[in-house]
Amino acid sequence: MKRLLILEDGSIFEGEGFGAERSSTGEVVFTTGMTGYQEAITDQSFNGQIITFTYPLIGNYGINRDDFESIEPTCQGVIVAEVARVPANWRSKMSLDQFLKTKNIPGISGIDTRMLTKKLRDVGTLKGSIIDATKELDHAFDQLKATVLSTNQVAQVSTTKAYPSPGIGRNVVVIDFGLKHSILRELSRRNCQITVLPHDTSAHAILDLHPDGVILSNGPGDPKDLPKVLEMIQMIQGHVPIFGICLGHQLFALANGADTYKMIFGHRGFNHPVREVATGRIDFTSQNHGYAVSKESIDKEKLLITHLEINDETVEGLRHKELPAFTVQFHPDAAPGPHDTLHLFDDFIELMDTWKEQNECQKELI
């Protein structure tokens, strides 16, 4: 079945269809990971986007039960140079083609993904559509240009009701902006009692749970589309330790007076080198974001830059100088990707314990 990928600049790519038999429109982006396509497709940070995989062969180890980052992915399509029709792995439960059909996500293969990626690097991300090759092109381009991409992406992917992930240790609240399941897995490994809350939960409702700490999760879209979340962060910081990840990092920065901007093509993949400023340590990280914190806008009296991306010097980590809060732009949960930064979850545990001890000492003095 012939399919076309068309872009808002007039480009046309012809390929073979797989996955769901439907047309779709979204922001076309690329990711540079060599493996981890299942985690990427099910990462809600790709909400509304059509994912271009730069690695030539995708789908060779199928889809398994263990590597989901969400149950209902919301990306708008998958673009590959070659799709493996028959997967070969002992964990595989179905092929990538079958999975995309099940989740109603269209795919297109046989595309020159190298050429497409170079275009996106040069001009930035573009709106695009995956369409049937028999569709009238002039009408398809008119529809593409008229399409306005959604700005309420977090509301689309966040849970609407609170739910627990029971444990016997520290009481951690996770604010769901489109969280990856691997965040919950890392907290569970540390015996945390987890409560996941919707993105629009009030500060009072969060503090009423008496958490030992709060995680601001990853998620899709522009952080400036969530002004009420900034108010929530401003109200809880100083009352409870905070750990922000990806979108949570950007929201924390905005809540503390910094600015964010849309990147030309973003960081997507798990081979991004990041330098810890204090030690010079280099970690390879998993990343998936199209916005970044402006280095020049950071109030250096309030926030300390802890990590920088080596390739473009973008801000990858912040720590509040007075309050118990730190954030990172990358994904320390490492799914998919290297495990270099898993220690940040241990740092969060230590921060919660230290904050609790200090508060108990102050109560005793009173």
Is residue 23 within 8 Å of 104, Cβ to Cβ?
Answer: no
Whether 244 has a binding-site annotation, put simply, is: no
Active site residue 181: no
Is residue 61 within 8 Å of 180, Cβ to Cβ?
Answer: no
Hunting for tokens 């795919």 — which residue is that?
107
Whether 261 has a binding-site annotation, put simply, is: no
Whether 317 has a binding-site annotation, put simply, is: no
Point out the catalytic residue in the list 43, 97, 246, 307. Answer: 246
Is residue 41 within 8 Å of 78, Cβ to Cβ?
Answer: yes
**Distance, first Cα to last Cα, the chain:** 75
Whether 257 has a binding-site annotation, put simply, is: no
DSSP label of 153: H
Whether 48 has a binding-site annotation, put simply, is: no
Provide the CA 259 distance to its chain's centre, in angstroms: 19
d(CA 69, CA 56) in angstroms, rounded, equals: 23
d(CA 139, CA 298) in angstroms, rounded, equals: 46
For the stretch 6-9, contacts whose Cβ atoms lie closer than 8 Å and that sit 24 or more positions apart, written own/partner, are: 6/128, 6/129, 6/131, 6/137, 6/140, 6/141, 6/144, 7/119, 7/126, 7/127, 7/128, 8/126, 8/127, 8/128, 8/144, 8/145, 9/123, 9/126
Whether 362 has a binding-site annotation, put simply, is: no
Q: C-alpha distances in angstroms, 277 versus 44, 213, 250, 263, 280?
A: 30, 25, 19, 22, 5
DSSP state letters, 166-203: --SS-EEEEE-SS--HHHHHHHHHTT-EEEEE-TT--H
Whether 107 has a binding-site annotation, put simply, is: no
Whether 45 has a binding-site annotation, put simply, is: yes
Active site residue 139: no
Active site residue 75: no
What tokens were used for 241?
């330790």
Point out the catalytic residue in the list 75, 181, 331, 340. Answer: 331
Point out the catalytic residue in the list 43, 283, 333, 340. Answer: 333
Binding-site members for L-glutamine are: 45, 219, 221, 247, 250, 288, 290-291
Binding-site members are: 45, 219, 221, 247, 250, 288, 290-291
What positions carry a catalytic annotation? 246, 331, 333
